[in-house]
Structure 1
Amino acid sequence: MSVALITGSSGLIGSECVEYFAALGMDIAGIDNDMRKTFFGEEGSTEWNRKRLEAGLGHKFIHHTADIRDEAEIDRIFGTYGNNISLIIHTAAQPSHDWAAKDPQLDFGVNAVGTLNLLEAMRKHCPEAVFIFTSTNKVYGDTPNRLPLTELPQRWEIEPGHLYAEGISETMSVDQTMHSLFGASKLAADLLVQEYGRYFQMKTACFRCGVLTGFRQAGVELHGFINYLVKCAATGKPYTIFGYKGKQVRDVIHSADIAAVFHAFFAQPRRGGEVYNLGGGRDSNVSILEAIELAEKIAGRPMKVTYSESNRQGDHIWYVSDLGKFKSHYPGWKMKRSVADIMEEIHDQNKDHWQES
């Protein structure tokens, strides 16, 4: 029996990985206590997704309602499966840099201490397993905002010929920058994952992600940019742009493409704490103004948009991931979905549900 233990298993990336690796024949142990509801209210709850997974996968999926901050409970769950655990995908998190400032101790407890509990449980019970961590591009703080950018009609864009013209690589410094408290807690976790890989020669990897999305995301204003924007377009709910003239750029990647990335690393893991930037890269990126235009076209109606001059602290003006390192290690992986594909899927799969609610 080969077990994949997945934290945040009811969330967007977690649930995608549950179904992906179950389809490969693995048994799945999911850990999720619906903290997203605590962070974002009823609209952010993932309970519906847990029920869907349990109904669809039956005995292949065992759900554990546990808090990753609870060291004893995490140790107990790992002990239940022991060396049968061959893969750990850690997606559980407090995911919003806006929310983190409300309760820094809870944010750090979930993001940093929870990650440490998982790494220690792995070292004790299944040290030869593969550990995959969904980190964030916020570990680079606001350093990307120092890049030479040019203002275009609908977006900011980096100057041609710059070191990062094809996207920001793992060489960017994480020092001397404002991370936001969320970025700081995720960076602490990121460094722990690297260190367990290097110090103990374990098979760990940090994926520093841009905008992760898909039609099953419970998008809210503070987290889930693309999903929430499309929801506003479909329902007529007002949408607020925060700063940078709405020309800030994000790269966007679908949850199914991410699951395939994780599979590639799991199939050919590397020891020593690898770090990869992961997002849509140059093939899949969009500004807020461009996304609004796309969403209006898809929904067939104009959006109600307001603008606030106050950008979010530490928010990136332009962030596009350089996927070169991962692609050089795993040349067989190819991204299959563009921003337009993703937004159309989000709209088509959710429009009826959104109208009912």
Structure 2
Amino acid sequence: MNVALVTGSAGLIGSETVAFFSEKFDVIVGIDNNMRQYFFGADGSTEWNRNRLADTFTNYRHYTADIRQVDELDVIFREYGTDIKAIVHTAAQPSHDWAAREPFTDFAVNANGTLNLLEMTRRHCPEAVFIFTSTNKVYGDNPNYLPLVETDTRWEIDQNHPYFENGIDEHMSLDHTKHSLFGASKVAADILVQEYGRYFGMKTGVFRGGCLTGPNHSGAQLHGFLSYLMKCAITGNHYTIFGYKGKQVRDNIHSWDLVNMFWHFYQNPRPGEVYNAGGGRFANCSMLEAIAVCEAISGNKMNYSYSETNRIGDHIWYISDLSKFKSHYPSWNWTYDLQQTLAQIHDSMAARLRQPA
């Protein structure tokens, strides 16, 4: 029996992994205790997505284990043992601002939880491929010191800089920079995953995501940029832009495209490898540009205001360079551009909002 184990299985990337891998593995084991609701309130709850997975995929088995508790994980890993061929670890506390509220919780989930999963893998299924969703925030605010140029709708890097053509590569330093506590806990986890590959020879891979997005995101004010933005466009709820004149740039990768990266890595893993993973030059936007697209798709004028106070450790301009991954896995490419992704988010969000509470 071939088993894929997915943490954060009711979240955006976790649920996309369940759907994608459901046709490729005999059993999908999902671990998710809906801590996203604890982090972000009712808007962040993933219960609706957990129910959707259970109703849709007959080979999906859900566990509400807490990744901070080794004894809870040990029961699951013992049950499936070496039948586990893939672990896709997406569970996390994902917000800068929230991390500062509860540093112990943030570090326990992001760093200790990752260590627990790595050690369970090493003990019970050491030949499994271990895929980790890291973040571009491991680079701290180093990207903010790149030579940036202001245009009418965005910040852009100077066209003479090496990063102009494809974006930021994996050689940007993780050191001597302000991360936020969230960024720091993800750095710890990122390095741990690398070391279990390099030191123990396990088949681990790190994917440093840009903005991860898609129609199954439970977007909230503190996390889920495009999802929450579109929700505000549909409902008329107020949206606040934090700093940088609303011209801060993010690259956005559809959840399906990211999980397809995971699948390519699974088939030919390179132990301890690190990849930037985002929309690159193919799919990116500033806040102002994203608002314009949301207004066009929804047909509504957005209700938003501007705050001069930017979020600590936030990026002014970040576009991922995926050249390294594409050189290792040349058959992979993006499928969904920004317009297609936002249209999907709109349709999914509108349908959910129509459902009775």
Q: Tell me if TM exceeds 0.5.
A: yes
For residues 352 and 129 of structure 1, the distance between their equivalents in structure 2, rounded to whole angstroms, comes to: 38
Once the two structures are TM-superposed, the CA of residue 161 in structure 1 deviates from its matched residue by 2.4
The answer on whether the counterparts of 2:4 and 2:25 sit within 8 Å (CA) in structure 1 is no
SS of the counterpart of 2:221? coil
SS at match of 1:6: strand
Q: Deviations over 1:103-144 (max 9, x none)?
A: 000000000000000000000001010000000000000000
Which residue of the partner structure matches residue 162 of structure 1? 161
Assess if the C-alpha contact under 8 Å between 1:235 and 1:355 holds in 2: no
* Deviation readout 1:264-291 (Å, 9 max, x if unpaired): 00011112x1000000000000000000
Q: 1:55: how far off? A: 1.4
Mapped partners of 1:189, 1:296: distance in 2: 38
Give the RMSD, CA atoms, in angstroms.
Answer: 0.9
Q: What's the offset of the Cα at 1:26?
A: 3.2
Q: Deviations over 1:72-122 (max 9, x none)?
A: 111121111000000000000001111000000000000000000000000
1:325-350 deviations in Å (ceiling 9; x for gaps): 00000000010011111111111222
Distance 1:202 1:306 in 2: 48
- C-alpha contact (below 8 Å) 2:247/2:288 kept by paired residues: yes
Of stretches 17-26 and 75-84 in structure 1, the one that deviates more from structure 2 is 17-26
Matches within 5 A, 1:147-158: 147-158=146-157
Structure 2: distance between partners of 1:259 and 1:176: 31
Identity of aligned residues (%): 61
| Residue number in structure 2 paired with 1:309 | 308
Unpaired runs of 5+ residues, structure 2, are: none
Runs of 4+ that moved beyond 3 A? none
Q: How many angstroms apart in 2 are the aligned matches of 1:19 and 1:352?
A: 20
CA shift, 1:355, in A, is: 4.9
- Counterparts of 2:73 and 2:228 in 1: how far apart (Å)? 32
Residues 326 and 332 of structure 2 are in contact (CA less than 8 Å); yes or no, is this contact kept in structure 1? yes
Aligned residues: 355
- Paired residues for 1:23-38 under 5 Å: 23-38=23-38
Give the structure-2-normalised TM-score: 0.98
Aligned to 2:227: 227
Q: Give 1:239 shift.
A: 0.9
Q: CA deviation at 1:301?
A: 1.6
- The letter for the 2-side match of 1:47 is E
Shift in Å, 1:353: 2.8
Q: Distance in 1 between matches of 2:143 and 2:61?
A: 41
Aligned mates of 1:353, 1:190 — CA distance in 2: 34
2:349 matched residue in structure 1 = 350
1:240-251 to 2 correspondences below 5 Å = 240-251=240-251
Counterpart AA for 2:157: I
CA–CA distance in structure 2, aligned partners of residues 23 and 238 of structure 1? 40
Distance in 1 (CA, whole Å) between partners of 2:244 and 2:266 is: 39
Cα distance, 1:352 vs. partner? 3.6
Contact kept in structure 1, 2:3 and 2:25, CA below 8 Å: no
1:47-66 → structure 2 map (5 Å cutoff): 47-58=47-58, 60-66=59-65
